[in-house]
Amino acid sequence: MPARGFFVTGTDTGVGKTLVCSALLHALAARGVSAVGMKPIVAGAVDVDGRWLYEDVEALRAASSINAPDALINQYAFRAAIAPHIAAEREGVSIDVEVIERAYAKLSALADVTIVEGVGGFKVPLGPHVDTADLARRLNLPVILIVGMRLGCLNHALLTQAAIGAAGLQLAGWVANTLDARMPMFEENLAALNERIAAPLLGVVPAMPQPKPQSVAELLDLGRLIP
């Protein structure tokens, strides 16, 4: 199949983008499609035996069906778990979307599908005059939206859908990831989103104490995403 890619964003930070990206990679591999994950910008490292590890990057690498150079998977890594433009300023780094674009071009040549995980939500600043929407526009990829199912998700999801459209990008699909197991009127909120989001619902992820990408992959329907 011709190489293709998707840009994965979320309604907020901490809504399960990495989990769903990893699940997408497993689901693609199960369909016989070679797939690789990319996390251009990551903020937040953990010290493991004196070595700084970035869990999001490691998760995508583990879920990918091909091996790729580290420099193509991740271009900007900041230790502090703070907004990326603030982290970059503190470390004296300027995030350059052209650097990411060149890395994506090389990475996407290695697999059938490349899953690019954004950072935070869709409009997170990356610098004085650039944000995540600009990055997605530069890569010109269809977008998959992860909706964190909790109180307030309707507004966040619909505003994000509007921002994706304003950027001139296609919303290819969305995933409902349950963050609050006790969310009032869950089914009604899900139905409201399904009626208003102009893209197919790819799956509903229930609340899990320790979700595994392989298990989440079984909940995703990629039939309308990858023919």
Could you read off the pLDDT of 83-110 as tens digits, one per residue? 999 999 999 999 999 999 999 999 999 9
Checking phi first, is residue 199 left (phi over 0); if not, alpha (psi -120 to 50) or beta? Answer: beta
pLDDT in tens, 51-74: 889 999 999 999 999 999 999 999
CATH number of the structural domain 4-217: 3.40.50.300
39 is catalytic: yes
> Residue 43 corresponds to which tokens in the numbers above?
């903020």
Percentages (nearest 5) of helix, strand, coil residues in the chain: 35, 25, 40
Q: Which entry of 39, 106, 123, 212 is annotated as an active-site residue?
A: 39
The residues spanned by each domain of the chain are: 4-217
pLDDT of residue 160: 98
Length of the chain: 227
Nearest CA-CA partner of 41 in 112, 93, 113: 93
Residues 83/124, Cβ–Cβ less than 8 Å: yes
